[in-house]
Amino acid sequence: MQTAQLTIDPAFRVAPVDRRLFGSFVEHMGRCVYGGVFEPGHPAADDRGLRTDVLDLTRELGVSVVRYPGGNFVSGYRWEDGIGPVGDRPRRLDLAWKTIETNAFGLDEFMTWAGQAGVEPMMAVNLGTRGVQEACDLLEYSNHPGGTQLSDLRRRHGAEQPYGVRLWCLGNELDGPWQVGHKTAAEYGRLAAETARAMKMIDPSISLVACGSSNRGMPTFAAWEATVLEHTYEHVDYISAHTYYDPSDGDQASLLASAVDMDAFINDVVATADHVAAKQRQRRRLNISFDEWNVWYQARLQADLDRRGWVEAPALIEDTFTAVDAVVVGDLLVTLLRHADRVGVACQAQLANVIGPIRTRTGGPAWRQSIFHPFALTARYARGTVLRTEPVSPRYETAKYGDVPVLDTVAVHDESTDELTIFAVNRGPGDLPLDLDLRGLPTLDGVAHLTLAAGDDPTAVNTEAEPDRVTPRMLPTPTGDGGRCTVRLPAVSWNVLRFAPRR
């Protein structure tokens, strides 16, 4: 059995962990909103129709920021439809997901929900079918204190104080031909720059995200980013990145190495942004908002869309995630943390039902999917500064990504408590001994080893009937001598190794 090695030294810092890395996404798609976060008449709903059981799980998940209202949905959305008396709101065709949007849940309801969930709102503006003025109107309604038509309208709707939304997306995936309002990079770049300038005239404190490519496989990838940033670099704070990994083909070895692709994606976007910065003599370095990512059985979507007509809130891509999917999600979080110096925001898509860590039954209970657990534990323990890790690992061959390491790791050191957390993924089919060298932190002792292992039952899932079938379990606490110890990582597993000062 081959052994892996890992040395941790607190002197090799990457960057502090930004809490915005633990974001999620609520889109008007499927049952994410209606039947997910919002269900008037449900036994657990409050007087605003918000499901308190979903709110409880959102807080447990550790979500820091939530992107809203899309996604593809936003590219045809009139934000004014979702404010004011519910009985007066129009019913509209949603072209993105071929559904009827009732607008019973809108901006004011979302802001109420965000306040109760304790999350920062991240708003997206429609640059598909609309433009500069509509974006400015939404910002004025949301953030201006009062004394204008739109800010006073918000106050009449019950929000005396401005919402103070700090994060704004300038549209969504407008490189995609599936988008309502699809544009070329030059068309979008000019519109985004004009919108950014105007929005910052209203509120200079906001941060703006320009649309990057919908995924790394787009034929315009990198060229899109370069052109968009030629127009927008001086006006925006982030460029977005989106990616999903599909288990549908059954290639488990490649699926487990998905983080290799995410890692390369981040490096490519950073290189492209830095090229534009050099060309324009920009001293400021732009960061990435990785505001859509997850595992997604994408082959199922078209069948969902084709098998019904225009209806309200149909079930769309309500994937049931396996133990292997949870290991992959944990590894994607490892990658995001490893790039904490350039990834400043990240949003797992989506929060509830639609490829979400939280599943619900309309009128029934809510439960944690397998992918809930690596997100919640990473959000809980990844506090402090990311440390650079250079593991020595055996390797294996994959069909999609070639030769890849069996072990993937990241470490986070909390200087305020001197606690250390190592997140380690064993992608291999057998147990992996890991030799740890912690002589750079000589006062630390092991306090816990948590694992979510898929090796014994890779197809295991959590369901309404068995909501806790896939959960993390404790393994023997790491022990060692002289700053060295060895732990065993189970086959196909995501692991949390925690160390704290000796008492």
217-232 burial: b if 16+ Cβ within 10 Å, else e: ebeebbebbbbbbbbb
Taking 3-state DSSP, the helix, strand and coil percentages for the chain, each rounded to the nearest 5, stand at 30, 30, 45
Query: Strands 419-426, 432-437: parallel, antiparallel or unpaired by DSSP?
Result: unpaired
Q: So which residues are the catalytic ones?
A: 173, 292
Specify the pTM: 0.97
Name the residue ranges covered by the structural domains of the chain.
4-11+386-501, 18-382
Residue partners of 479: CB distance under 8 A and separation at least 6: 445, 446, 485
Judge contact between 96 and 180, C-beta under 8 A. yes
Can you tell me whether residue 304 is helix, strand or coil? helix
Judge contact between 356 and 350, C-beta under 8 A. yes
Q: Is 456 exposed, middle or buried (0-12, 13-18, 19+ CB in 10 A)?
A: exposed
Tell me what pLDDT residue 1 has: 67
CA-based radius of gyration for the chain: 23
Alpha-carbon distance 109 to 441, whole Å?
Answer: 48
Alpha-carbon distance 87 to 84, whole Å?
Answer: 9
Q: Packing angle between helix 258-279 and helix 323-338, nearest 10 degrees?
A: 30
Task: Return the structure tokens found at 208.
Answer: 């703006």
Judge contact between 11 and 440, C-beta under 8 A. yes
Tell me what pLDDT residue 464 has: 97
**Dihedral sign, Cα of residue 264, residue 64, residue 287, residue 193:** positive
**Over its length of 503 residues, how does the chain's per-residue pLDDT go in tens digits?**
689 999 999 999 999 999 999 999 999 999 999 999 999 999 999 999 999 999 999 999 999 999 999 999 999 999 999 999 999 999 999 999 999 999 999 999 999 999 999 999 999 999 999 999 999 999 999 999 999 999 999 999 999 999 999 999 999 999 999 999 999 999 999 999 999 999 999 999 999 999 999 999 999 999 999 999 999 999 999 999 999 999 999 999 999 999 999 999 999 999 999 999 999 999 999 999 999 999 999 887 877 777 778 999 999 999 999 999 999 999 999 999 999 999 999 999 999 999 999 999 999 999 999 999 999 999 999 999 999 999 999 999 999 999 999 999 999 999 999 999 999 999 999 999 999 999 999 999 999 999 999 988 999 999 999 999 999 999 999 987 878 999 999 999 999 999 999 87
Class of domain 18-382: alpha beta
The second-level CATH assignment, the architecture, of 4-11+386-501 is Sandwich (2.60)
Tell me what pLDDT residue 455 has: 82
Alpha-carbon distance 151 to 148, whole Å?
Answer: 5
